[in-house]
Structure 1
């Protein structure tokens, strides 16, 4: 009997040892997978053809509307097999720019593209999306629909010219110029109408908004595109979300500066997208710096395309609601997100890493790997996971979200604000497998606040000097 017990104990020990080695080996390979994703994004080289919009009659006086000239240049370049459309130094006013396959829209240093403040310039309506639900709405400021091999490059500036006098008041917030009693996005004809259409599976072609409604356009939106490069440019004063790749594959955002503090001015929002590389960027935003999404409520479940294989590295996050955020429009799920070598620091940055959903959104989050992050100051927490998120009323439903496999490693936080770690899961579906290795958090008023989660796994970590 004793011999049998000894054999059983040895067997358990060996099994555990092998399992630990396998987990260690697997962990070592986490970011090997990130490197493979990066390698898979092969942006096509563009043809040598160049078209300079000034040579075609564009006027850089910040007054003359150049929409037709810019888009004609893009069309001609596309028809000739592709190449580069150049916007030279100067102040060029335009309406929406429509990008086509095999065209690189290139802003030379000193180019300043000013987007019209006239809402009617963004008509007719196009197939786009608003907060995770598809509709026919004002055109994004730069729009590509079902195109391949497209680029936006250079050292110039895209200025959406949104302000408290145009676009932003539609958010319905006093701080952005809203005047009580005037129309805003929360009115029954706007978001509530769109939610109802989504719940009723109304065809997108019949979800017509645009003129007479108050749903703002995104800034740059590749919609169902493949092989997308956005590189080097500066983007400011956006009406709504800034960079929004939706249903797109093989996307690289490299060396972009987003400096836009309007309502819902997320920096980059990949949605229903995969194989996305966001690198060397600076985000100084009025909302989340990076927010990974996959549709809202019924729309997300119908589309059912998870966002996956997303790598964020070498970025700087300044102001914003969150550094890297997953949600809240997350109904189709998010998996395989890699974040490394980033700096996050601002008294106006609320959280470093955030996952947000609720039982109307549902969805899943799995396999999130965060490594080598330096956090100076955040307001609320290094990590916040919230399954009770709710911007609008009545956010309870029957779709229980699942969140698992969240790994944080080699992170320092100088000032973590209210909390070190803040997790609020659900009894029906506790948060699973949150692991912190070599994570050191200072100056958290409350070190840990956790509800409905498996016990956190700490390895060589500390909060407020206390080892965990």
Structure 2
């Protein structure tokens, strides 16, 4: 049963009622954007800065005994630094336990010093009251993410410490088995246009919270810290602008343990990060189905570089929740090194989810091996079919090496709305077992491509 309204933050209900969102479903061609445009996009991504002042959680009663609840101290420290006009909240070395979420506020840099570990509670009730959030692309009122910010500016999570979600098969991860009816109920509410403040979940309904979610925030920095064992996705900026994710380590092999998922966000840089995940390492999203089209905000200007990716369903992925569209994605100078990685570059949607994908560029990537196709575009993802065929256009792969793969390419587009303008240049794929699958695609160009030592052109 859903929670009564009294368990939902009244302030967030008011905000949910008042938010005005872009509703256009149009997907005009924004023109061809390529590598020459990258410097101009990068110039728009500037990490926030903070006043040169700090407070320590120890001064507000924090005890590093992995037992005393850190939440009162960290909340008080955040409140104090806000009163002072902003700055750094320091968590010194030591192991802490926190029975609930951390809610960041404008002009606050939460800084974990080297050797600091924050272990989060796995009790769902500790993440009440419910907050305005997205679950797999659908807006709902649900348990708070473990670290959350709503409509804040100039926020950061920095340092060399570890945030440990402590999720396991004994708690959060078990929810993936029985949550389907409630997940479908949430999606149907999105299709029906039910006001978000009435989409009340929590109460063990199976909708797991993500680890870090800045929601409708500007000027976000997440740098240096490590994250382990999230209930759901790890880092998920939603409807944000100007986001830098730099030098983080993400480890978690649980269900839906995606590493970093920018969603309906603009001007995002992900660099020098390490991902070892139970799902996609990086997945770019933009809302799902009718609810995603209602919001109608794309993810755009997403830059990924110098990252290492190990286990996961995909290295760089677009979709499948991309109903608002995705454009201008650049991924370069990455290493993908695990026999359990399934794909290097993947784009996935279907004609029910819709959306659009344009200007996606992938270069200078070394892949040891994949368990599926090196490069996969699938417009028949899942079982849904509808009236919103997703256009995919202007996608390139350049200077990519893969040592082993079942297939080089798996392109499965809609015959009446084919994938268009895909270019693969200067790539070497070795130990490829099967022929590529090429259906529903127009204007595929291969130049200086070798598969098992044989040149391929088209």
TM-score, length basis structure 1: 0.89
Counterparts of 2:48 and 2:246, CA distance in 1? 15
Q: Is residue 293 of structure 2 the alignment partner of residue 305 of structure 1?
A: no
Q: 1:88 aligned to 86, 92, 96, which one? A: 92
Q: Does 1:338 align with 2:330?
A: yes
Stretches of structure 2 that go unaligned for 5 or more consecutive residues are 1-30
Tell me what 1:444 maps to. 432
Residue in structure 1 matched with residue 258 of structure 2 by the alignment: 266
Deviations along 1:271-325, whole A, 9 cap, x unmatched? 0101000000000000000000000000111000010000000000100000000
Residue aligning to 1:387? 379
- The count of corresponding residues between Structure 1 and Structure 2 is 425
Superposition pairs for residues 134-149 of structure 1, below 5 Å?
134-149=139-154
| Matching of residue 224 in structure 1 with residue 216 in structure 2 | yes
Native 8 Å contact 2:60 2:76 kept in 1: no
1:237-256 superposed matches below 5 A: 237-256=229-248
Q: After TM superposition, give the deviation of residue 461 of structure 1 in Å.
A: 1.1
- Does the 8 Å contact 1:59/1:92 carry over to 2? yes
Aligned to 1:35: 39
Distance of 1:142 and 1:37 partners within structure 2: 28
Among 367, 388, 396, the residue aligned to 1:399: 388
In the alignment, the residues of structure 2 paired with residue 241 and residue 51 of structure 1 have an alpha-carbon distance, to the nearest angstrom, of 30
CA displacement at 1:169 relative to structure 2: 0.1
Inter-partner Cα distance in structure 1 for 2:435 and 2:329: 25
After TM superposition, give the deviation of residue 455 of structure 1 in Å. Answer: 4.4
Identify the residue that residue 61 of structure 2 maps to in structure 1. 57
Query: Following superposition of structure 1 onto structure 2, how do residues 409-428 of structure 1 map, counting pairs within 5 Å?
Result: 409-416=398-405, 418-428=406-416
Structure 1 residue 31, shift from structure 2 partner: 2.5
- Mapping of 1:68-467 within 5 angstroms? 68-94=72-98, 95-172=100-177, 184-186=178-180, 188=181, 190-390=182-382, 394-416=383-405, 418-467=406-455
CA distance in 1, matches of 2:204, 2:371: 38
Is residue 48 from structure 1 mapped to residue 48 from structure 2 by the alignment?
no
Is the 8 Å Cα contact of residues 447 and 464 (structure 1) preserved in structure 2?
no
Deviation at 1:79, TM superposition (A): 2.1
Q: Distance in 1 between matches of 2:126 and 2:311?
A: 31
Contact 2:211 2:235 in 1 (8 A): yes
TM score, norm. by length of structure 2: 0.91
Moved more, 315-324 or 440-449: 440-449
Contact 1:384 1:422 in 2 (8 A): yes
Question: Hey, what's the Cα distance between the residues in 2 that align with 1:34 and 1:367?
Answer: 11
Superposed CA deviations along residues 193-250 of structure 1, whole A, max 9, x for unmatched, are 1011001111110000011311100100000000000000010010001000000000
Q: Distance in 1 between matches of 2:408 and 2:259?
A: 25
Cα RMSD of the aligned pairs, angstroms, is 1.2
Q: Distance in 1 between matches of 2:243 and 2:398?
A: 26
Unaligned runs of 5+ in 1: 1-25, 173-183
CA distance in 1, matches of 2:446, 2:144: 48
The worse-fitting range, judged by mean Cα deviation, of 310-319 and 204-213 is 204-213
3-state SS in 1 of match to 2:37: helix
User: Is contact 1:234-1:257 (8 Å) kept?
Assistant: yes
- 1:30: Cα distance to partner? 2.7
Partner secondary structure for residue 77 of structure 1? helix
SS in 1 for 2:442: coil
